[in-house]
């Protein structure tokens, strides 16, 4: 697995979690996009792990959702089959 793949997996996981929190709070893509002065497509792509957001926009999302990000990294390994 290449580092680019790990990077993509990280952003997919991050976006998925933001999406889940947004849905739990009943906030639409449109509402969040308006709060950040960007398009719904930009937020949707972030939540799908296709785009990264600037630190400023990520901070604004967290504030709007009432959350504080923490990072917990778990790595596991499996034996390769021969």
Does residue 36 contact residue 60 with C-beta atoms inside 8 Å?
yes
CA 11, 15, 22 angle in degrees (round to 5)? 165
pLDDT by residue (tens digit) across 34-67? 999 999 999 999 999 888 888 899 999 999 999 9
Where in the chain are the domains? 3-65
Distance set, CA 40 to CA 9, 30, 34, 47 (Å): 22, 6, 8, 11
Output 28 or 52, whichever has higher pLDDT. Answer: 28
pLDDT by residue (tens digit) across 3-18? 578 888 888 989 999 9
Q: CATH fold of 3-65, please?
A: 434 Repressor (Amino-terminal Domain) (1.10.260)
Tell me the pTM. Answer: 0.79
Per-residue pLDDT, 2: 58
DSSP codes joined into one string, 21-60: HHHHTT--HHHHHHHHTS-HHHHHHHHTTSS---HHHHHH
């Amino acid at each position: 697995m290449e580092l680019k793949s790990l990077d993509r997996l990280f952003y997919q996981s991050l976006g998925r979690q933001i999406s889940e929190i947004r849905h739990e709070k009943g906030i639409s893509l449109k509402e969040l996009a308006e709060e950040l002065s960007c398009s719904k497509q930009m937020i949707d792509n972030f939540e799908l792990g296709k785009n990264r957001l600037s630190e400023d926009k990520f901070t604004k999302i967290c504030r709007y959702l009432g959350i504080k990000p923490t990072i917990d990294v778990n790595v596991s390994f499996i034996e390769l089959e021969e």
